[in-house]
Each structure stands twice: as C-alpha cells, then as structure tokens.
Chains A and B, each alone.
Chain A
Amino acid sequence: MDFDPQAFEFSAAIWSWLLICGSAAAILAAVSLFFCLVSRGGAGATAWANEIVGILQDVISISPRRVFALAQLTFREAIRRKALLVFVVFAILFMFAGWFLSASSLAPEFQVKVYVTFVLRAISWLLLPVVLLLSCWGLPEDIKQRSLHTVVTKPARRLEVVLGRMLGFATVGTIVLVVMAGVGWGWIRRQLPEEAQKQLTCRQPVFGELRFNDREGNPATAGINVGDVWEFYSYIEGATKARAIWTFHDITPDVLDADGNLRLENRFQAFRSHKGDMRRSLYYQYVLVNPETGLRVPTSLKTVVEFRGRTDLLPRALPRVGEAAQEKAGEAADGKGAYDLIDDLVSKQPVLNPETKEVLIPAGSLQVEVACVDPGQYLGMARPHLFIRMPDRSFEAGYMKAVFGIEMMMLLVVVLGVTASTFVKGPVATMLTFCLLVIGQSAREFMSKLVNNEEQGGGTFESIYRLLYHMNPVTELPDNPATTAMRAIDNSMVSLMWLFYNIIPDFGFFSRSLTYLANGFDVSFNNAVLPGMVITLGYLIPCVLLGCFCLRNRELEAK
C-alpha cells in the first residue's frame, strides 16, 4: 500500500476558499472599476455599479424552471452532437481489455488492484475528454450559430444560461458515467478470476498516529532508511529498543469484531541484513500499552507477510505472560487472570504534559508498540501499515463512492469548461480547461515545491544559468548584481506561480477514491468523498458568477 490517507482539513479549506475568493472578487471589482472610470469617467462608476447590481439581481431572481429548460436544451444539443458515441469506444476497449490485462498469474489481491484501477481509469479517461469538449464548445458554437440569440432574447438571465449549460452537460456526463460504471462493475465481476473475487472487499480501517523510538529507546522522528530511494518506509532494527508506536484514538468495545477480537492488520516490510533462517519470515511482536497507566501487555511472536498483509486477531481477554505480568494483572485486572483489552489497556483519562497541561494523548486511546525480534534484521513500515480492521463493507459500496469521485471530477471539468467558454472561443477554452486538468492532476506537487522554495536550483532564470555554466543545484552562485536581478525576476515569477497554484484545482483529491478502492479499502467519506464535493462546490460558485459576468459583457454578435 503506497498511500498515506491524510485527513482533509475542512475548516482550513473553507478559510482558504473565502480568502482566495474574497481577494479575487476584490481585485476583479477594483480592476473593472478602474477601467470603467478610465474609459467613461464619472459615468463609468454608475455603469460599474449597475453591472454589480445586475449580477446580484441575476442571482436573486434565478428561476429553477428556466435553468431546467436551458439544461434540457443543452442536453438535447449534446445528444445531437453524438456525445454518446463514446460508448462505442468504451465497448471496444472493454471487449479487448482482457488481452492487455494478463494478470492471471498474479496473486488474487494484486489482480484486484490491476482490474479495479483499469476500469476506473478507463471510465475517467473516456468520460472527461467528452465532457471537456462538450462544455468548451457549447456556448461558442451557440454564439457562432447565433442560436444563443433565441435564448437571450427570452426572459432568461445570463446566470441562468451559464447554470443551464452546466446542468445540461453534467446530466449528459452523469448518464454516460452511470452506464459505464455499471458495465465496468459487471466486467470486473465477470472477468476477475474466481479466486480473486474473494478479495473484492472494502476494508474499514481505523488508522492511528505513528512515532518511533530509536535503537536506544529514545524518541525519533523516523526509523532507519535501509537504502530505499522512496523514503516512505521507516525501518526498525531487530532485537534492539527500536519500536514503531501507533496510537489509536476513540477505542471503544465497538472496534472489536463479533467474536470480541481486535483485528489488527499490518503491511510490514522485511529487510534482512543477513540471510538468517530462510525457512521463515521475520518475527515481529505487538506490545499493547495503556498510555495512561503504562501497563504493557506483549503478545505472541508473529511472522511478517510482506506486501499481502496479515490480519492478527487479538482477543479481548489477553493472556498474561510471565510472573511479573501476573502480579500486575492482579492489580489491574482485578485478579481475573487476564487483561481486558478495553478496560485495562485503553486510557480513561487524557495524558497531559506535566508542565503546560496540554493534552498529549486524549482519553480512549490505545498504543500498539511493534518490535522486530530477529537480531540484525529490520522491519519497515509507515503510518497506514498498521490499522484496526473493522467489519468490511461490500465492494459495491466502495465502488459507488469511487464512481461518485469521478462524477465530482466530471462536474468540475464541466464547470471550468463552461466558464472558460463564456469569455474565449471553443479551441482556446478547450486548451485552457485541458491545461487546468493536466496541471491540476500531475503538476501540483512540482508547483508546490516551487512556491514553497523546496526545489533546489532556483527558479527559471537561475536554472538556465546553472545549466549553461554546468553548476549543480547546491553550488553557491556568485554574489553580484546580476545574480540579485536574476533572483528578483525568479521570485516575481514564483509569486505569479503562487497565484496559479492557489487557483488551479487539485484534481489529486478526486483520484483518492480510486486509490482507496484499488488497495482494498472502503472509500473514506471524510478523506476522499467530502474533499471532492467541497472542491467542486468551491469552484462552482465563483465560476458561475464569473461566467455570468463574462457573458453579460460579451459581444454576442462577434463570431
């Protein structure tokens, strides 16, 4: 599993949205006022105010009936433009997909990943270009054919035209998506080998927080890197005090399964510095710790099952190990002869910082320490590699959520495409929306590094300079006015980049659903579904207003 599902910061996202939209609206208002004043003098201010009032009137007096009528019109147009031909491509692709997916020799859980990824990607890649083209060419074509005149001469407001377009294209896209999703589901069920069908499930994980202790037992920010290029995994050394410590919150009897067991699933990696006993995998051991009382209960040794994962059932009544433990059990478990996983190991009070009284670990927490047992060997892990597995959900439930993620992405593309088509012609709108899609999908990480100054080697001009003079990214540049000027230009470009970085939507959130499902997890509502909805809505509101503004001021006679 190569993803680390971080929680979506809803409140931070709202604040950020308000800040950006507010700033953008203020800048737009100021700039437009300036131009009105410059071009028309005092009358310009009146015209500007009238325009603002007009937009507000459009918003207030919006008629769902008219929007629906315009959406119907858009829908018919889209069908007439043969948008549904995409089904033919889809059918051909799925007819021959089996040829390309020769994954039958792979382990069942890997086959599931290959098939699910293929289906969801194929749906996205076929659907998005169709809605992108439809939405970007709709309005410009109407303007060109002058069919928009028949609409704007009716008592339909420009805002309703924009909304109607969006709704119409979204409906077409949704119908296409639903059909494709249905066929895709049937295809997975039919094509996937019987053995792999059992792996079509949606785990419900409860993830914890992870920290490490080093080989001397001191807190460490991470474990050891054993030479992997990818630094996702941290390794702990065997037969030392090195530990990976997970803290799980909100632990109640509800996390136990029907038989009263705690299901801990892990995806640990083994790394051997010597071959050792090749007949078995490396051993690891859990030690359950009550963060409040410090009670520690070790479990039996278990062997690592690499890449496929392993589920360990820990009974609620944990047997005592050794005499010292028995003595403690007498105190803690009231002489019952065993520790109770919930009563004895889950904290009842929060753990506070003795000086600042800040809550370090909230009440209801359980800590799980993981140790590698074999000397000279290492266990690798990251935060999502140990979790409490709740009862699984059906694959269909997760699949529907993943499809919903695609729906949200499709809606965002429609919103962006229709908005772009209100102020530029079809080909330009297509290019603009396509670029936003590609950058938002694949270049945001790079942009983030640039705007946060994490990319070595400087900005555009500094990079060119280094290339020409064969200087590596960490070599100091000579301290002279030219360097200062070059960096000043680069910084101004980075500022511009910052603006774009904050405006361009992060399409990565939409593919989270796919990652969850392909890895056998239920699609998290808070981490995958909600971000998709919030992002789409976040762009819908300003885009509709922008589209309305542009369409109100567009010369419809100009082809």
Chain B
Amino acid sequence: MNQFTSQHRKFLYLGGILLLLIPIIRLGMPGDSSGKNAGTIAEMRTRLDLGESNLGDIDPSGAAMNLVLLGLRGVAANILWVQADEQKSHKDWAAMRATTESIIRLQPHFVKVWEYNGWNLAYNVSAEWDAVSDRYYWVKEGGKFLQQGVKRNRSSSDLLWHTGRIYGPKIGLSDEARFFRRYFRADPDPQFKGGVDPAWNERDEDNYIAAKDWFAKGNDVEGQGNRQTIMDRSIFRSYPARSQLDYASALQKYGFNEEYDRRAADRKLSESEQEALQLEVREQLREQNRAAWEQGFQEWTQKYGQELFTVDYRGNIVTIKMEMNEDDVSDIARSPEETKVLMQAVTAYQNMTNYRYWRTRTLCEAEPETAEAHWLLFAAMEEYRKQNLEKAREYAERVMTLLEGVFKKYPELDVEEDLVEDGINAVMIWQYAYRLSGERPPAEYPLKALYDSRASEMTEYERRFNRRFLPY
C-alpha cells in the first residue's frame, strides 16, 4: 500500500500530465500567422510540405474517419483491402467501388493506392463487362478516380501521368478504341443526352488532346522537383509530344468515319448527299490531319527535342538533348573523347525513346504528298467497297505513285508498318480491280519492290485487308 492519500495522488497525476505536456507543446506547437515560432514538428511539416493542405485538397470525411479510428487506421485499411479483393472476385462491383472509396479516405496520400485502384477500375473491372458501353463506364470510373487522387496529391507527377494514360492509350489503343473514342465525344449514358460527360471531357476534345494536357501537367509538376517514379525521365517527358503524334495517327485511322457520322448524325441522306458530305469531310480532314502531324513535328523536335537531360552514361555524367546531331555535339564538347561519349549517349537515348523514328515519321506525314496518299487510299477503299473498280484502280495507282516518292525521300520508313501496309493495300486494290475486271495487271508498277519484299507476309496482309470489309 502506498502512503499517498487520494488527494495527493491526484496532484501527482496532474503534475505528471503538466510535465508531459511541456515537450508535447514544444514539439507540436503550430506557428504564428507568419509561420514562424512553430514547434519542431510543425516546422518540419511546413519545411517538408507534409501538411494536409500542402499535399492537396483536404477531405474532411477522411480526416474524421482517421481520427475516429485512433491508431487503428492500418488495421481498418487492411480489412478493407481484403474486402475489396473478395468483392472483386465475387464480381460485386457496387460494393467494391464503395470499399475503394473507403480505402482512399483512410489512405488519401498513399499514391500507390490511387494508382492500383485506378488501374483496377479502368482495366480489370472494365474487362469483366460484356457491353462496350459498360466497359467505357468503368474506364471513366478509373480515370475519375485518378483525377480525385490528383486533387488530393498535388505534387504527384505519377498520378497525373497515370490519368493521362487512361485518357490516351486506354481509350485510344484498346480493342474497343473505335467505340471508346466515339463515346468520349458522345457519352452512351442517357443522362448526357448524346453529349459529353462534363466531368470527364469538359472541353469536348479528342481523347489524345485531353491526355496530352494531363501528361503536360505531369511534366510541369515533375519539373518543379517532384520526382516521378514510373520510368526513365527522358521517356516520361516525351508523353505530351507523343500524345500529339497519337492524336494525328488516330485522326488518320478513325477521323473520317467519326467526323462523317458526327455530321450526318441521324439524318437520312441521299446517295449524292452522302458523296458530297464524304468529300467535304475528306477535304477538311486532309488538312487537319496534315496540320496535326506538323504540330507533332514541332512539339517533338522543338519542345521535347530541346529539353535537357542530365544522365549517367557509362559512368560519365553528361547533359544531352534529343535534338542533337554530330555538329551540335562537337560544338559543346571540349575534347574528341568527350565528343565520342556525348554522341554515344545521345544515340543511346534517341534509340531508347525512338526519337529518330518519330522525327522522320512526323516529317514525312506532314508532307502534303503523304497526306494526299492517305486520303486517296481511303477513297480507293470506299470505291472498292462499292465495286466501282475503275475509280478504285485509279485512286490506288495514284496512292502507289505518291508513296513510292515518299519511300524514296525517306528510305528509313520502309520499316514503318502503318505506312508499308497502306502501300500494300493500295497494290492489292489495284491488282484486284484489274482481275475483277477480267484484265491482267501490268508486270511493272510503283511500289513493286516493296510489295515483293513482303511476299512472305502476304497472307497476313490479305487477312487484315479483308477484315476491313467485314460488317464489323
């Protein structure tokens, strides 16, 4: 038994409490209005940008939840993760989505949590659904989820990049790309009445242009000293320019049908009206597409190509930029050895980012002849579909002549599969048109060398060619 009375004990406890309060106050005291005279912890929080408001928008509900859980946040988060996984395997999407929301309220600044769940919704959950419109809904959910993450974590360049990836490659490169791209401009959800989902495509623009914006924001944040942790910096910084190139490619591939259908809407057009509209759209897109490639060239060479990268190349710390040739390297190098190392570094990084290829490709695609060849091939296909064989042959022959000129000017592009396939398709239409008219095609023709060099892959080219004329 101790000798203290109850009153003594209470005083003792009070004294202990006051004693412990001194270091707590000293360490955790908030700063004054100027942010000065803060406690050690508060000062460190400000210095390291770890304050809730410094990291991003404050979520009161999440903060309340964390407080209520006292020290059990980790336990609660673990239970929720297990639940979410089980709900996913049980295909209980509503519950899984709700659990995901709860998880991020507990872990709002854990970037990997946002990344994982954003990916999960946009890729894994989306793939579980059969209807393309449902898949698109979950792609949007994944993207919107990441946007939420961006708001809560302003200094995360990773999250901005991941958001850009949903807008860009997920919508534009998936198997459902031709549906997803249209849905991006005309949402299938009845509540949007055929227009855009304003929370998803606020400015009613192409998905790759939206992606470019997110990638550019990612670059801005990264440029402010917030390191990205996804890939080599030289590749990471190329994404805005790459999005412009993807935009130009998509315009070439899907642009005509998308624009034609948008303009025709639900109108019933006579055959002559259809032809007039097709011509109009073709003319508009020819220039629009060429301009997109030209802008792509500018952004690839003048923006991305001029960025400085300090890299460790075989033990040498060198500063390079992608748009560098031997003359540029010689100008800045102080010795022949340095020239050699610098040139090797530039070449290695250009190869890694495919810089030279895209440079040539954009240059070539921005040529009026190439643009003309693409749209003539499109016209040839349309005529062939309608079995207007003479017109189809005439267009195809013009494509072949134009592309022969392009390949002569840019011989390195004979590995560019899209362009090569366009050439092979033109030759196929040209040959079929002859044969279906009961004539033998001439032995010599433009692009013959290219066509012959791909003889071993012709079955695959034919399969793909025929697929273009299937109903879907």
Contacts and interface: CB of A to CB of B under 8 A. Distances in A.
A224 B65 CA distance: 44
Contacts of A101: 98, 101
B295 to A, nearest CB: 32
B19 interface: no
B132 A279 contact: yes
Interface string A88-103: 0000000010011111
B102 A307 contact: no
Contact of B97 (A99, A103, A230, A272): A103
A113 B95 contact: yes
B58 to A, nearest CB: 13
A395 interface: no
19 contacts: A2-B90, A2-B92, A96-B61, A96-B64, A99-B61, A100-B102, A101-B101, A105-B144, A110-B97, A114-B94, A232-B90, A270-B130, A279-B132, A279-B179, A281-B130, A281-B131, A307-B91, A307-B93, A307-B129
Given A99-B60, A111-B94, A269-B91, 10 more contacts: A100-B105, A230-B90, A278-B175, A278-B176, A279-B132, A305-B131, A306-B129, A306-B134, A307-B93, A307-B129
A117 interface: yes
Contacts of B132: 278-279
B91 A110 contact: no
A278 B179 contact: yes
Contacts of B6: none
A110 B179 contact: no
Contacts, number: 65
A306 B130 contact: yes
Interface residues of B, number: 27
Contact of B95 (A102, A117, A275): A117
Contacts of A229: 89
Nearest to B471: A277
Contacts of A110: 93-94, 97
A102 B141 CA distance: 12
B384 to A, nearest CB: 23
B94 A103 contact: yes
Interface string A216-257: 000000000000111010000000000000000000000000
Contacts of B4: none
A304 B134 CA distance: 12
Nearest to B60: A99
Contacts of B129: 306-307
A103 B89 CA distance: 20
A163 B19 CA distance: 53
B61 A282 contact: no
A106 interface: yes
Contacts of B90: 2, 230, 232
List the 6 closest pairs (A to B, CB-CB), nearest first.
A110-B94, A270-B130, A99-B61, A2-B90, A229-B89, A113-B94
B130 A272 contact: yes
Interface string A284-305: 0000000000000000000011
B472 interface: yes
A114 B95 contact: yes
B94 A277 contact: no
B212 to A, nearest CB: 25
Contacts of B472: 277-279
A463 to B, nearest CB: 21
Interface of A: 2, 96, 99-103, 105-106, 110-111, 113-114, 117, 228-230, 232, 269-270, 272, 275, 277-279, 281-282, 304-307
B267 to A, nearest CB: 21
A169 B175 CA distance: 61
A281 B133 CA distance: 10
Interface in B68-118: 89-95, 97-98, 101-102, 105
A305 to B, nearest CB: 8
Nearest to B87: A2
Contacts of B91: 2, 230, 269, 307
Given A100-B105, A306-B131, A228 B89 contact: yes
A100 B101 contact: yes
Nearest to B191: A195
A499 to B, nearest CB: 30
A114 B102 CA distance: 12
A114 B98 contact: yes
A115 to B, nearest CB: 10
A230 B130 contact: no
Nearest to B148: A102
A194 to B, nearest CB: 12
A168 B46 CA distance: 56
Contacts of A272: 130
B35 to A, nearest CB: 30
A275 B175 contact: yes
A269 B90 CA distance: 12
A282 B130 contact: yes
Q: Report which residue of B95, B98, B105, B472 has the largest number of chain A beta carbons within 10 angstroms of its beta carbon.
A: B98
Contacts of A275: 175
Contacts of B105: 100
Q: Of B91, B95, B105, which is in contact with the most chain A CB atoms at under 10 Å from its CB?
A: B91
Contact of B101 (A102, A232, A277): A102
A106 B94 contact: yes
A197 to B, nearest CB: 15
A184 B93 CA distance: 24
A270 B95 CA distance: 20
Contacts of A103: 94, 97-98
A230 B60 contact: no
A272 B135 CA distance: 14
B61 A105 contact: no
Nearest to B130: A270
B113 to A, nearest CB: 16
A271 to B, nearest CB: 8
A290 to B, nearest CB: 32
B57 to A, nearest CB: 14
A111 B94 CA distance: 7
Contacts of A106: 94, 97
A113 B129 CA distance: 19
Contacts of B95: 113-114, 117
A117 B91 CA distance: 16
Contacts of A96: 61, 64
Nearest to A99: B61
B20 to A, nearest CB: 29
Contacts of A2: 90-92
A306 B95 CA distance: 16
A305 B131 CA distance: 8
A228 to B, nearest CB: 7
Nearest to A109: B94
Contacts of B65: 100
A114 B92 CA distance: 11
Contacts of B60: 99
A540 to B, nearest CB: 33
Contact of A105 (B93, B134, B141): B141
Contacts of A113: 94-95
A102 B94 CA distance: 11
A220 B372 CA distance: 61
Q: Kindly name the residue among B94, B95, B101, B132 whose own CB sees the greatest number of chain A CB atoms within 10 A.
A: B94
A101 B94 CA distance: 11
A110 B175 CA distance: 27
Contacts of A100: 61, 65, 101-102, 105
Contacts of A111: 94
B227 to A, nearest CB: 31
Contacts of A306: 129-131, 134
B377 to A, nearest CB: 25
A99 B101 CA distance: 10
A105 B130 CA distance: 19
A279 B98 CA distance: 30
Contacts of B130: 269-270, 272, 281-282, 304, 306
A210 to B, nearest CB: 18
Contacts of B144: 105
Interface in B126-148: 129-132, 134, 141, 144
